[in-house]
Amino acid sequence: MNPELLLPLDAILPPGQMITSAEGNGDVQALWLSDAAAAAELWPRLRTEHASSGLWPLLLDSRDPDDSEFRPWASGELIPGRMSSPKSHYPAELLATWWRDYTGIDQDDDVLTADERLAVTARSARLGQAWHPVLSP
């Protein structure tokens, strides 16, 4: 059982289910997965309660949009015991690193020419620099 999911929570979670991880003996409940998108007003309440509940509100997507099993989240393909805690990372640094690592040109299998890549990459007309992610308030 994930002790963070046992902490009190004032906000009422939307309809959904606990997802049990494939890790261990099937007793690791890794996350709460709602049946549908959470209402916009729930997000700030969950984020505010994070300090006392330990829960992180996340927006997740499946690996494949046509996958009815919503893998890996709904299928339990999660191994939280091997993961670091989100609070041990700095979001801006982590996102910048991921952006650099996963949007760079791969010489081995990149199918876009430099001009094609430039055409499909968001650009800042004012600064003439490539777009990069920033933290939202």
pLDDT digits (tens, 9 = 90+) for 79-127: 877 878 777 888 888 888 887 777 766 666 667 776 776 666 655 444 5
Instruction: Answer whether 0.85 is exceeded by the pTM.
Output: no
Domain ranges of the chain: 1-84, 89-137
pLDDT digits (tens, 9 = 90+) for 32-57: 889 988 899 998 888 888 888 777 78
Q: Given a cut of 50, is residue 29 above it in pLDDT?
A: yes
Cβ neighbours around 74 below 10 Å, total: 17
What are the φ/ψ torsions at residue 3 (nearest 5 degrees)?
-60, -30
